[in-house]
Structure 1
Amino acid sequence: MKRTYLKYTFLTFALLSTALSCKITKTYRQPDLNTTDLYRNQQTTDTTSIAALPWEKMFADTVLKSLIHEGLYNNLNLKIAVQKIYEAQAALGQSKAALLPSLSANANATRSKQSAASLNYPAGIAINTLTTSYQLGLSSSWEADIWGKLTSAKRAAFNTLLQTDAAKRAVQTQLIADIANNYYTLLALDKQLEITSLTLKNRIKDVETMKSLKEGAVVNGAAVVQSEANRYAAEVAIPDIKRSIRETENAIDILVGRPPGPLNRLKLDAQKQTDSLQTGIPSQLLKNRPDVQQAEYAFRSAFENTNAAHTYFYPSLTITASGGWSNLQLKDFFVGSIFYNLAAGLTQPIFNQGINKARLKTAQAQQMEALYNFQQSLLVAGQEVSNALYAYQTAAEKGDARSKQIAALTKAVDYTQELLRYSSATNYTDVLTSEQNLLSAQLDGVNDRLQQLQAVVNLYRALGGGWK
């Protein structure tokens, strides 16, 4: 009867505690975040986004695909991110285990000797003061999660796991973008080296032409010296371009996890331009951007830590049990030697030097920090999309004008060179100016093309592409 009463008392207490716990801990709801006009005047209701494209379909260059594939397998930062996921998985397993009772086995033998004088027995009574006892048993302890403390800790650990997974995906999207951007930079440098090398050959010919014209008294010695200086100006630019090529190759090698070395690649002119740059709607960044998801999971984890901090103000119920065999003789160890005990205890904090208040204030402050980081990550994501879109648009706008500029400057070089040979209406300074302007425009045209290619890559990453 007493056992039945005790059982129903604990059951009633547990049900009441569960009902009360609903008022202590709160249920997570995603905060209201304003995503209107995140892309800055890019208003659309079309949810189609290039972020949904797998990276294999986003890039057409087979060499670039091979480099990205290698990077996803060998990049060390990505491997570190995967290890952090394993750490979070272990922490989640530990938090789940906290909801279960602990169970431990123990076996011990104790030999003790007592003082006969301390026993205070009458004189003449023989007492064995040397004894040996043996014990074998199990012990268990369980904390009832009546206020949701352990459940909140488990949810916090689960969100930390999701946070590390999102962080890994953020590393992956950034890795793909870094490899692609560096690859395109390498192609642009190759093109600039090609243009500069061709310019150098032409200027070497110019020097010989100026010497011939000087012999014919068409130009003076100043024109010859200027032509030589112009030739050397192109020549000294080549080592810098080659150095940049070497550094970019080494950067790509690090990204793909290999020692520095030369890289095979295609040409800049062979790159195909993506026609469609669909961005979807701004609210899709909450699901597509791994770093935004990472920030939200961090906020959810902080939210659950605040829930857990609230529960420390309420009593905890711990149930302990132990049992086994205990005997003074090994030969009859299991005969009549069973023992057990069961205990339940409530612990209500009364005064603990403000630890619980400090824990709650800390958790609340960390929750607000995580919320602000979440909001900031979304704003940064919108900014990156806007910047990438505008970079692509401005590069495209320059394309037609740049082509016309290069064509006009090419004619200007031809005309001034012809005038220098057959007319006194010009001098070598005009030739020099037109040649320098042409080289500058040609190099700027390569940069325009690079800007366009990298803008597409940056837009793809900014929208959250690369991890699906």
Structure 2
Amino acid sequence: MTNKRLLSCVGIGLSILVGSSCTVPRLISKTENKAVPASYYGSQDTTNTGKKPWKDYFSDPYLTALIDSALSNNQELNITLQEIQISNNEVLARSGAYRPFVSLGGGAGVDKVSRYTSQGAADAATEIRPGIETPEILPNFYFGATASWEVDIWHKLRNAKKAAVSNYLASIEGKNFQVTNLVAEIANSYYELLALDNQLDIIKRNIDILNNALSITRQEKEAAKVTELAVRRFEAEVAKTQSMQYELQQRIVETENHINFLVGRFPQHVQRNSQIFNQLVPTKIDAGVPSQLLANRPDIKQAEWTLEANKLSVTAAKANFYPSLNLRGFLGIMSYNPLYLLNTPESLVASLLGDLVGPVINKNEITATYKSANAKQIQAVYNFEKTVLNAYIEVANQLSNINNLEKKYETKNTQVQALTQSTNISLKLFTSARADYMEVLLTQRDVLEARMELIETRKQQLNAQINAYRALGGGWK
């Protein structure tokens, strides 16, 4: 009857333990929406420029050399690579958490038990060996292996390891997205540098034209055909244009040094061929279909892996409400005298203990952890949907930008050609006293601005092409 009552009590205790531990708060779950529009502006062509490797996309040897150097030396990228290594180490740590831990060691100690206790009285009445009583002060020496293992019944530890793997894969996609942005930033800065060189060349040629006009104006003043006012106005225009030259020279230095920073080197001249800028024609961008963004864009894949990691973290946090089974054991040798340690089997000692433990009262900590994990999972859903939406809008904006910039360049080029002809005409009319000097100044100013804007528009076209390539997920392969 005693054994049956004991087993009954144990059964009741386990029932209470399991029943109270398995009470899990209900939370609101959210599923991500992966739906995207069927096309960009009605096109169903699946040819996608974003799948092309950057070495095939960029043909300028100076630009490809800069990108190649940046991928090895850029400090931000190298910092990210170390973060990936940290994530990999976290996977290693999590994978070892659900395997048995075994440690090997030994120790020594001394113990004195009161003779007026049950253990002390038993030791006094017991002989270790015939004629050898148990010492009142008892040393203790031991050496052996200790093992512990949490049996992963609810896959709590395995899910935590899977979450770490997902975070590791997310960090790799984060690195890929950083590479995409780095390639695009270097290319944009490189074409900006070419544009500034060409604008500086226009400024210098315009200064020569204005100086020539100033010389003619001075001759006209000596001939009493114009006043001192005309000479001063031309001198002011020359000074204004020269100040623009110095401003452009400073911008060139800053752009060069920005490229040098991205490449991971101290300031130096950036090798380039600025003469080819006027021959650069933006290549056609094939956008494919929006659904390809889910596979091409590293930031979308990073958000997806982060979402997967948060889902697994919720499952792992939920398992904290269930009982956990822990096994502990020891196998070794132990003796009060080190000379007896090797006297086996008498010195052998072994133990095995199993604990089934679960939360019953005051589960605030694990409840808060579970709710926080669920909130992060919902947050990751919104972040994923936001990333997909942002990617689609970026592509749509750049495709529209490319189309409008093409039309803008055509009209701006027509304007430049007309103004260039009017400049020559106004200068001839001025020398023949058939036009006022202000007409020459205004016409020269207009053609300068138009030429500068034409170069700026071409640069914007090249930047839009690069940004569209980046928005489609190109640049990291």
State the TM-score, normalized to the length of structure 1: 0.89
Report if the CA contact (8 A) 2:180-2:473 is conserved. yes
Partner of 1:196: 203
Question: Following the alignment from structure 1 to structure 2, what is the Cα–Cα distance between the partners of residues 423 and 209?
Answer: 12
Partner of 2:216: 209
Partner of 2:34: 33
Question: Following the alignment from structure 1 to structure 2, what is the Cα–Cα distance between the partners of residues 178 and 365?
Answer: 35
Partner of 2:356: 346
Question: Following the alignment from structure 1 to structure 2, what is the Cα–Cα distance between the partners of residues 185 and 300?
Answer: 40
Equivalent residues, number: 442
Partner of 1:462: 471
Give the one of 142, 152, 162 matched to 2:169: 162
Map 1:111-150 → 2, pairs under 5 A: 111-114=110-113, 119=120, 128-150=135-157
Question: Aligned pair 1:438/2:437, yes or no?
Answer: no
Report if the CA contact (8 A) 2:324-2:357 is conserved. yes
CA, structure 1 residues 428+274, in 2 after alignment: closer, same or farther (shift >3 Å)? closer
1:241 deviation in Å? 0.2
Report if the CA contact (8 A) 1:167-1:294 is conserved. yes
Question: Following the alignment from structure 1 to structure 2, what is the Cα–Cα distance between the partners of residues 271 and 330?
Answer: 90
Map 1:11-50 → 2, pairs under 5 A: 31-36=32-37, 41-50=40-49
Partner of 2:462: 453
Question: Aligned pair 1:296/2:296, yes or no?
Answer: no
DSSP-derived class of the 1:259 partner: coil
Question: Following the alignment from structure 1 to structure 2, what is the Cα–Cα distance between the partners of residues 293 and 127?
Answer: 70
Report if the CA contact (8 A) 1:302-1:363 is conserved. yes
Question: Aligned pair 1:275/2:283, yes or no?
Answer: yes
Read off the aligned partner of 2:450 and give its amino acid letter. A
Partner of 2:245: 238
Report if the CA contact (8 A) 1:50-1:460 is conserved. yes
Read off the aligned partner of 2:431 and give its amino acid letter. R
Report if the CA contact (8 A) 1:218-1:421 is conserved. no
Partner of 1:93: 92
Read off the aligned partner of 1:200 and give its amino acid letter. I
DSSP-derived class of the 1:177 partner: helix
DSSP-derived class of the 1:391 partner: helix
CA, structure 1 residues 126+439, in 2 after alignment: closer, same or farther (shift >3 Å)? closer
Report if the CA contact (8 A) 1:391-1:451 is conserved. no
Map 1:294-373 → 2, pairs under 5 A: 294-334=302-342, 335=344, 336-373=346-383
Question: Following the alignment from structure 2 to structure 1, what is the Cα–Cα distance between the partners of residues 349 and 99?
Answer: 24
Question: Following the alignment from structure 1 to structure 2, what is the Cα–Cα distance between the partners of residues 29 and 363?
Answer: 13
1:273 deviation in Å? 2.9
Read off the aligned partner of 2:50 and give its amino acid letter. A
1:116 deviation in Å? 5.8
Partner of 2:129: none
Question: Aligned pair 1:394/2:404, yes or no?
Answer: yes
Read off the aligned partner of 2:239 and give its amino acid letter. Y
| Range 62-71 or range 395-404, more displaced | 395-404
Report if the CA contact (8 A) 1:313-1:356 is conserved. yes
Read off the aligned partner of 2:474 and give its amino acid letter. G
1:391 deviation in Å? 2.0
Q: Which runs of 4+ in 1 moved over 6 A?
A: none
CA displacement 1:39-59 (0-9 Å, x = unmatched): 7x5233322211111111101
CA, structure 1 residues 319+406, in 2 after alignment: closer, same or farther (shift >3 Å)? same
Question: Following the alignment from structure 1 to structure 2, what is the Cα–Cα distance between the partners of residues 280 and 294?
Answer: 21
Partner of 1:4: none
Question: Following the alignment from structure 1 to structure 2, what is the Cα–Cα distance between the partners of residues 237 and 212?
Answer: 27
Unaligned runs of 5+ in 2: 1-13, 126-131
1:216 deviation in Å? 2.0
Report if the CA contact (8 A) 2:94-2:164 is conserved. yes
Question: Following the alignment from structure 1 to structure 2, what is the Cα–Cα distance between the partners of residues 348 and 264?
Answer: 68
Partner of 1:108: 107
Report if the CA contact (8 A) 2:313-2:373 is conserved. yes
DSSP-derived class of the 1:110 partner: strand
Question: Aligned pair 1:385/2:395, yes or no?
Answer: yes
Question: Following the alignment from structure 1 to structure 2, what is the Cα–Cα distance between the partners of residues 393 and 350?
Answer: 66
Report if the CA contact (8 A) 1:55-1:465 is conserved. yes
CA, structure 1 residues 269+127, in 2 after alignment: closer, same or farther (shift >3 Å)? closer
Give the one of 250, 263, 268 matched to 2:270: 263
Question: Aligned pair 1:403/2:410, yes or no?
Answer: no
Q: Please report the RMSD computed on the Cα atoms of aligned residues, expressed in angstroms.
A: 2.5
DSSP-derived class of the 2:220 partner: helix
Partner of 1:421: 431
State the TM-score, normalized to the length of structure 2: 0.88
Report if the CA contact (8 A) 2:195-2:277 is conserved. no
CA displacement 1:423-460 (0-9 Å, x = unmatched): 44x31111111111000000000001101111111111
Question: Following the alignment from structure 2 to structure 1, what is the Cα–Cα distance between the partners of residues 338 and 354?
Answer: 32
Read off the aligned partner of 1:331 and give its amino acid letter. L
CA, structure 1 residues 272+432, in 2 after alignment: closer, same or farther (shift >3 Å)? closer
CA, structure 1 residues 30+253, in 2 after alignment: closer, same or farther (shift >3 Å)? farther
